[in-house]
Structures are given as C-alpha cells and as structure tokens.
Amino acid sequence: MPTDFRPAFGERVRERRMRLKLSQEALAERAELHWTYISGIERGVRNPGLNVLMRLAAALETPLAALLSDLDRHPQRKSSRKH
C-alpha cells in the first residue's frame, strides 16, 4: 500500500502557522483559501496541488522545499485508498 504523507504535511503546516501566531482563518486569508480547506490540510485529509502548495509556502513565509523536506522521516500511516 502507498504511504500517505498528508498527515505529516498537515502537521508541518500547523507548526509553521502556530509559529507565526496565525489562526487558520488568517492563514487562509493570506493564501486566498477557505479556512475549512486549511483545516483539511492540517488534519491530513486534503491533498493540495502545486498551486495551493506555493500559496501556502508564501503565506507561511517559508520556502516550499522547507514544507516538503523530510516528510518521509515522520510517522506515517498507510493510505486506505485502493488502486
């Protein structure tokens, strides 16, 4: 089964957001997204595309590479999706 990196990515986004002392709503406004979408990313249920990833990185004032680096070193859960 493929590994699901969404939860680890969501934790990374949450950590950076909290470091900047932003609410989900404030981050959503900066990234021009809906706050429920930010919530879904942080909970690991959304799978954002490249454009959203770039907007999140800019809103979090961090390079995209920093958001994505070493995600494979965090605990992961197996995807329940069937291929």
Residues 31, 38 contacting (CB under 8 angstroms): yes
Q: Where are the alpha helices (DSSP H) in the chain?
A: 6-19, 24-31, 35-42, 50-59, 64-68
Quick: pLDDT tens for 21-75.
999 999 999 999 999 999 999 999 999 999 999 999 999 999 999 999 988 775 5
Question: Rounded to two decimals, what is the model's pTM?
Answer: 0.84
pLDDT at 74: 58
Per residue in 68-81, pLDDT (tens digit) is: 998 877 555 544 44
Cα separation of 40 and 63, whole Å? 21
Residue 62 corresponds to which tokens in the numbers above?
């961090």
Structural contact between residues 28 and 38, judged by C-beta atoms closer than 8 angstroms: yes
